[in-house]
Amino acid sequence: MNKNNYTPNPIDTKDVVLPQELNALAEDIAKNVHEVWSAGRMKDGWTYGEERNDAEKKHPCLEELSEEEKEYDRNTSIETIKLILKLGFKITRD
């Protein structure tokens, strides 16, 4: 496969409205995604650093994320939930 010809083709979820009651779930998923990412980095020997340095395994996102980075994780979790709903699954809380 020629990587230069790759064209992303996500399923369109623009017609899905995230129900208000799932906003907290989206936030929890976003936070957990970051926690899982951080745990993996730390397991691999990464530590906090003011600036990212791959050679020294330093990364500023191992602590508090900027609002822009938090928004990236939120958008990912929201789109994931919207896809689940679009595919016909139901999300309920027991």
**What Å distances lie between residue 3 and 6, 7, 8, 9, 92, CA to CA?**
5, 9, 11, 14, 40
Q: How confident is the model at residue 32 (pLDDT cuts 50, 70, 90)?
A: very high
pLDDT of residue 2: 64
pLDDT at 1 over 70: no
Segment 25-52 shows an average pLDDT of: 95
**DSSP reduced 3-state for 58:** strand
Q: What is the mean pLDDT of the chain?
A: 93
pLDDT at 25 over 90: yes
On whether the CB atoms of residues 41 and 53 are closer than 8 A, the answer is: no
Q: Distance (Å, rounded) from C-alpha 23 to C-alpha 33?
A: 15
Helices (H) and strands (E) in the chain, counts: 2, 2
